[in-house]
A and B are shown apart, each in its own frame.
Chain A
């Protein structure tokens, strides 16, 4: 068995090295879904065109996402004898210019460059490893994303790929489970349940047939970590699941992936085929006698199917509704009532490296109780949005200010929302907290699957709570009363508060309802749905009070509570606001002060935005000021 693998691996490394030593330049384009959405495919077309026009020979390679969304489209160029240079925000025009300058004339264009990746120096271009965005990151799960060709098993094998599986196949199942237990790996789906305990329980469960399921139903708005792993490094997931299958004695695995991730589905399918071709998956893997088959199951778009029991029902062809307690554990009676091991994409993706490098290697990162790294999708009002991987225990503020580069447009930080729609909002005073499963829960939020949305001073916290609640209430399975109707009731109250119709006692009512929904809902969705409301009330109660008592929205967001007005003293009658107003609510002659017709005004704020800085004649009012204008 080992010999067969050794030759496969040697061949993969040989091809990889050959490519590194290539005499023609290589162009890597980040073309995961995120890259494609920013125009990576157009950039690739432009590159192909330019190469044809100029006759330059180069090899174009599509790679996964390296995580720097703010800099997409990313194009990396590796010229023979030169380090790999990553170029940011490429467009068809700039990339054509770059190819001409760098490949024809050897000008590396430091003005377009983001950084040098890996070893080597280029004058005027910093090294990515020294940049604030990368300095504090540590990449385990994302280590291959953006570096290898996700559609090539050989690329993966050249980076220690499938070494974990080979090692595992030479061990007893219990030994593998023991390593996972010793690594203190906790499930990355959100709750942080110890993976070793789950694996052990599944190994011990009696059953002629067992299943491994990967929960890739990543549904949180603003979260895309699992997609990135599937699109950028699908073999890591497949290898992790195969090891799990061997460890618990399962012969069949399912990847439950959102149908909204078509590229992930394509790449996973391809990866499964490749692994089968190389006998790293399928019948009698590497002659070990162990057989494991993987099937992709596409979810139909229900957020609640990310809940394990609902997910299992969905695969069984039933309506995805979480099973109420008391119920048997999924590890004992899961899919088709057989023992089932269900873990998140990232959890499985850690496993090959843990087996390959050992439990101690993994526990050397992170904190006591929370080992390894955490992957976050950093979005919102942040300068450097993207996918980051940091050691557990890193300070929350460091993520935002160092890695993220601080708040967009240098506005004032207000809060950070972690854990997706089920998480909570943490204020500035909590930025010194270490990021791990338990600390975030204590602070009233959660790690969840890893969404992290930064909010600035222009964000209304009541409105934010309303946004997240709207999401969960629409995604409730509708089974239990508190979740189905309680969240709806809370939303109605928030709608009225935002419309200036809030009543005395509404804040207390929201807290009362929220606590009851948490206590009496069936599943995690209902039990966490009120979190955005409760945490914003906890940390930003004054904003709720301003809405209710003063009919004021301090962040000037809630349309029913604000009013735009033009200062006749300051207005020079330039007409910009009048021309841009979508509802023709603004009137005024040339060089005469303009006036807003409040009946026609939809409070879109365009006039405020377009009024030139030298006049600043448009102002927005709320509360008492609004009444006075």
Chain B
């Protein structure tokens, strides 16, 4: 890849051709505020908050590719003023009850507002304009709060580009523009799969998980639902798992999750969840130790093989085990002398 020379905030740097101004700035640790940009998605250029000056012209850093010899200034008076006004305009249209918001302290709009320097004095000059107060609570997992939506379109692009579903798109016109399902029906009646990828990426509190609890610490693990083996980061509070997010560093899923992996963790805290093996004694399943259960299984295997030959044995593996577990199972049974091995995913 060819490299080009650019000057950014007075520094001469070399960067790969084809990179955007935003990407170059980020690689150098230069902060440019954005609201509608997301590294996983195509660029949109709608929030107009990442404006920078390039060769004397104001452009959106997220979309503008660098050119050889380009002189970029990320903090001129002009661009600062434009960013400030655009963020102020968003705030006039935003439910600002931050304390009770699930996204408090983890909100892109708060971060950007602080950076561009929103002040109460300037905000007082402007009028509050609430255009949409609808809350869509139809989905049992997450809610859509339009009073907090900044129409950045990250959810729309996520649904189309990450999950390939396109359950939502922009609807209506002008200041009434909103994120809509087909026919503006509640999200539950749309083709949304509730994968939560959009909830994960929403920069504000417009898309949040219902009854969300903030974890005190996180634990890395692998999803137990299917053989894909997505990397999970469990959020734990005390001894309870309260949240799940995808592990972006895991090469299997790059942070993506499906509805089960992301939201199907209630069973972990369920009172009827099995925590020990069960052994049938006198026709009744009874809790047993691993030692006892495994000894029983080993004895039975040995008994059947000795009496009826190794092909009297068969193993059925589970899609809910990891690939490594399944590998070991077939290895074990082949070493016992049988090829009678099957897997529930084959059915």
Show the binding face of A for B, using Cβ within 8 Å. 302, 304, 319, 321, 324-326, 473-482, 484-489, 492-493, 496, 503, 505, 509, 512-513, 516, 519-522
Contact = CB atoms under 8 A, between A and B. Distances in A.
A484 B86 contact: no
Nearest to A512: B85
A476 B173 contact: yes
A326 B89 CA distance: 24
Contacts of B81: 516
Contacts of A485: 89-90, 92-93, 129, 175
Interface stretch (B43-51, B243-251, B275-283, B290-298): B43-51
Interface string B154-171: 000000000000000110
B85 A484 contact: no
B273 interface: no
B174 interface: yes
B48 A520 contact: yes
B174 A484 contact: yes
B48 A482 contact: yes
B63 A521 contact: no
**Chain A interface secondary structure, helix, strand, loop or mixed?**
helix
Contact of A484 (B44, B64, B65, B177): B177
Contacts of A509: 125-126
A520 B129 contact: no
Given A473-B175, A513-B85, 8 more contacts: A321-B170, A326-B64, A478-B172, A481-B49, A481-B86, A484-B174, A484-B175, A489-B126
B173 A478 contact: yes
B173 A326 contact: no
A496 B127 contact: yes
B138 interface: no
Contact of B131 (A319, A479, A488): A488
B175 A479 contact: no
Contact of B174 (A476, A482, A496): A476
Contacts of B59: 325-326
Nearest to A320: B173
A478 B177 contact: yes
Interface string B170-190: 101111110000000000000
A488 B85 contact: no
B174 A319 contact: no
B82 interface: yes
Contacts of B51: 520
20 contacts: A324-B60, A325-B45, A325-B60, A325-B63, A326-B59, A474-B173, A475-B173, A478-B175, A479-B177, A480-B46, A481-B47, A481-B48, A481-B90, A484-B175, A488-B174, A493-B127, A520-B51, A520-B58, A520-B85, A522-B46
A516 B177 CA distance: 21
Contacts of A325: 45, 59-60, 63-64
B247 to A, nearest CB: 33
A319 B177 CA distance: 12
B89 A482 contact: yes
Contacts of B127: 489, 492-493, 496
B9 to A, nearest CB: 20
Most A-side CB within 10 Å, residue of B51, B92, B169: B92
B129 A492 contact: yes
Size class of B's contact patch?
35 or more
A481 B175 CA distance: 9
B151 interface: yes
B45 A484 contact: no
Contacts of A488: 93, 129, 131, 174-175
Most A-side CB within 10 Å, residue of B49, B127, B176: B127
A488 B88 CA distance: 13
Nearest to B153: A479
A302 B172 CA distance: 10
- The 10 A-B residue pairs with the shortest CB-CB distance, nearest first, are A478-B177, A324-B45, A492-B127, A485-B89, A516-B85, A488-B175, A476-B174, A474-B174, A520-B48, A520-B82
A506 to B, nearest CB: 8
Contacts of A519: 58, 78, 82
A489 B174 CA distance: 12
A321 B81 CA distance: 26
A521 B60 CA distance: 11
A521 B90 CA distance: 14
Most B-side CB within 10 Å, residue of A319, A321, A473, A519: A519
Contacts of B47: 480-481
B65 to A, nearest CB: 7
B151 to A, nearest CB: 6
B126 to A, nearest CB: 6
A10 to B, nearest CB: 52
Most A-side CB within 10 Å, residue of B44, B82, B175: B175
Given A484-B151, A489-B127, A477 B173 contact: yes
A496 B127 CA distance: 10
A489 B128 CA distance: 8
Nearest to A321: B170
A319 B170 contact: yes
Interface string B103-143: 00000000000000000000001110101000000000000
Interface in B23-61: 44-49, 51, 58-60
A300 to B, nearest CB: 11
B130 to A, nearest CB: 11
Contacts of A480: 45-48
Contacts of A493: 127
A479 B129 contact: no
Most A-side CB within 10 Å, residue of B92, B170, B174: B174
Contacts of A319: 169-170
Contacts of B125: 503, 505, 509
A75 B14 CA distance: 74
A476 B175 contact: yes
B67 to A, nearest CB: 10
Nearest to A478: B177
A158 B172 CA distance: 47
Contacts of B60: 324-325
Nearest to B84: A516
Given A326-B63, A485-B89, A492-B127, A478 B45 contact: no
A516 B92 contact: no
A522 to B, nearest CB: 7
A415 to B, nearest CB: 26
Contacts of A477: 173-174, 177
Nearest to B93: A485
Contacts of B169: 319
Most B-side CB within 10 Å, residue of A321, A476, A479: A479
Contacts of B174: 473-478, 484, 488
B48 A489 contact: no
B219 to A, nearest CB: 39
B176 A478 contact: yes
A476 B89 CA distance: 15
Given A478-B151, A485-B92, A324 B63 contact: yes
A135 to B, nearest CB: 43
Contact of A481 (B46, B63, B173): B46
Nearest to B81: A516
A489 B86 CA distance: 11
Contacts of B86: 481-482, 486, 516, 520
A489 B92 contact: yes
Nearest to B169: A319
A429 to B, nearest CB: 31
A319 B153 CA distance: 13
Nearest to B175: A488
A481 B58 contact: no
Nearest to B94: A485
A476 B173 CA distance: 6
Contacts of B46: 324, 479-481, 522
B56 to A, nearest CB: 13
B85 A486 contact: yes
A522 B82 CA distance: 13
Contacts of A484: 151, 174-175, 177
